[in-house]
Structure 1
Amino acid sequence: MAKALIGYMSSDLRTPAHLTAENARLRARVRELEDLVLSLKTENDALVAAHTADLDTSMQEMQPA
């Protein structure tokens, strides 16, 4: 049971320090990339909305009077 608890804890004494540091660096990078994906999705949604509005306007202009 003690080994299972040690493996569950975030400060596992058996894990070398360089692996812990690398894991923290990778987790931070994943967070950065997730934030970038979210901002790109937001920008893409805004561009799609603007393009759709432009298409609607041009389609109405093309209708016969």
Structure 2
Amino acid sequence: MAKALIGYMNSDLRTPAHLTAENARLRARVRDLEELVLSLKKENESLVEAHAADLLESSMQEMQPV
């Protein structure tokens, strides 16, 4: 029962402080990388839309009679 309670507590006394700090640092890094991925996805989508618009415009100009 004591092991279950210790495992349930937020601050496990058996876990060294440096591991807790490293865990927090890694979680923050993962959060930052996830935000970067979302930002890059948005940028990529806007670039794809711009490229598609350019392709559509160029294909429309090619279809014009000479």
Question: How many Å separate the matches in 2 of 1:34 and 1:28?
Answer: 10
Q: CA RMSD in A?
A: 1.1
How far the C-alpha of 1:2 sits from its partner, in A, is 2.9
What's the TM-score once normalised by structure 1's chain length?
0.90
Question: Which residue is equivalent to 1:60?
Answer: 60
- Give the letter for the 1:34 counterpart: E
Unaligned 5+ runs, structure 2:
none
Q: Say how many residue pairs are matched.
A: 65
What's the TM-score once normalised by structure 2's chain length?
0.89
Question: How many Å separate the matches in 2 of 1:5 and 1:49?
Answer: 54
Identity of aligned residues (%): 74
Are 1:47 and 2:30 an aligned pair? Answer: no
How far the C-alpha of 1:6 sits from its partner, in A, is 1.7
How far the C-alpha of 1:13 sits from its partner, in A, is 1.1
The within-5 A match list for 1:3-42 is 3-42=3-42
Q: Which aligned runs of 4 or more in structure 1 are off by greater than 3 angstroms? A: none
Question: How many Å separate the matches in 2 of 1:23 and 1:51?
Answer: 41
